């Protein structure tokens, strides 16, 4: 059975959201903070939480950031509806659906996780075995609505080395490539943008020029 363009968009969004949230919930309820499972020498499942923007950068208040994400996602959803109605290419629609799904995946963490999970903790003097979070804890969550932290877990330390001593500033320090830790939602956004830039630059240009003319 051939899927319509709208069905493709819905399928992509649902697939990303289900996979993203299922993995995040598993990580939260089975791993303590900063726990790591080595799948291979260059691929780890490493549990960390991101309170801010990409790469953990915190430049804006959490509430503002969450609201901004929601507004941006609503704009992407509106655009997705428009391009489905206009019957743009299936590949282009899938890219936008990936970006939308990734944004929603991380918004769910920000909006709900502070309320539905209690705190995950790394091993310490008081908690030598660490603390694994509980879903829907009787005592309430670790924060309030719109103040949850995004769960990240994919870590690819492909190259581990040390900078030569003669290099200014970084000489002798450890270097890891690739060091960012991310999740399925982040991957969906990155893949969507990458495919757009590589294969749909003409469509993007036409869409941008059309928006300028309408404005």
Q: Is 129 a catalytic residue?
A: no
> Which candidate in 20, 109, 118, 186 is catalytic?
186
Interatomic CA distance for residues 131 and 175, integer angstroms:
30
- Domain that residue 91 falls in: 5-36+47-152+183-214
Catalytic residue among 20, 109, 118, 152: 152
Domain assignment present for 162: no
> pLDDT class for 210, splitting at 50, 70, 90?
confident
- Indicate whether 20 belongs to any domain: yes
Is residue 178 one of the residues assigned to a domain?
no
**Assigned domain for 175 exists:** no
Residues 6+ apart with CB under 8 A from 144: 114, 115
Query: How many domains does the structure of the chain reveal?
Result: 1
- At residue 56, the pLDDT reads 53
Taking 70 as the threshold, does the pLDDT of residue 191 lie above it?
yes
Q: How confident is the model at residue 7 (pLDDT cuts 50, 70, 90)?
A: very high
Q: What is the largest CA-CA distance in the chain?
A: 62
In-domain check, residue 207: yes
Strand segments (E) across the chain: 36-40, 43-50, 150-155, 159-162, 174-177, 181-182
72, 124, 169, 205 from 69: Cα distances, Å:
5, 34, 36, 24
Give SS3 for 151.
strand
Domain contains 166: no
Apex 128 CA angle, 134 and 31, nearest 5: 35
Residue 118 lies in a domain: yes
How far apart CA 158 and CA 116 sit, in angstroms, is: 34
Mean pLDDT of 7-21: 98
Residue 214: is its pLDDT beyond 80? no
């Amino acid at each position: 059975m051939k899927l319509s363009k709208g069905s493709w968009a819905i399928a992509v969004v649902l697939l990303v959201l289900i996979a993203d949230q299922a993995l995040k919930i598993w990580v939260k309820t089975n791993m303590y903070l900063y726990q790591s499972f080595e799948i291979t020498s260059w691929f780890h499942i490493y549990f960390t939480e991101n309170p801010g923007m990409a790469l953990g950068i915190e430049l804006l208040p959490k509430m503002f950031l969450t609201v901004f994400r929601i507004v941006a996602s609503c704009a992407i959803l509106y655009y997705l509806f428009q391009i489905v109605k206009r019957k743009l290419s299936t590949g282009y629609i899938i890219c936008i659906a990936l970006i939308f799904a990734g944004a929603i995946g991380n918004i769910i963490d920000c909006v709900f996780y502070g309320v539905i999970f209690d705190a995950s903790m790394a091993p310490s003097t008081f908690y030598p075995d660490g603390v694994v979070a509980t879903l829907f804890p009787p005592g309430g969550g670790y924060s309030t609505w719109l103040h949850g932290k995004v769960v990240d877990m994919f870590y690819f330390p492909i190259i581990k080395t040390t900078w030569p001593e003669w290099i200014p500033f970084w000489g002798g320090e450890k270097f890891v490539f690739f060091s960012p830790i991310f999740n399925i939602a982040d991957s969906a956004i990155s893949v969507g943008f990458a495919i757009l830039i590589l294969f749909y630059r003409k469509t993007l240009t036409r869409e941008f020029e059309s928006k300028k003319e309408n404005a």
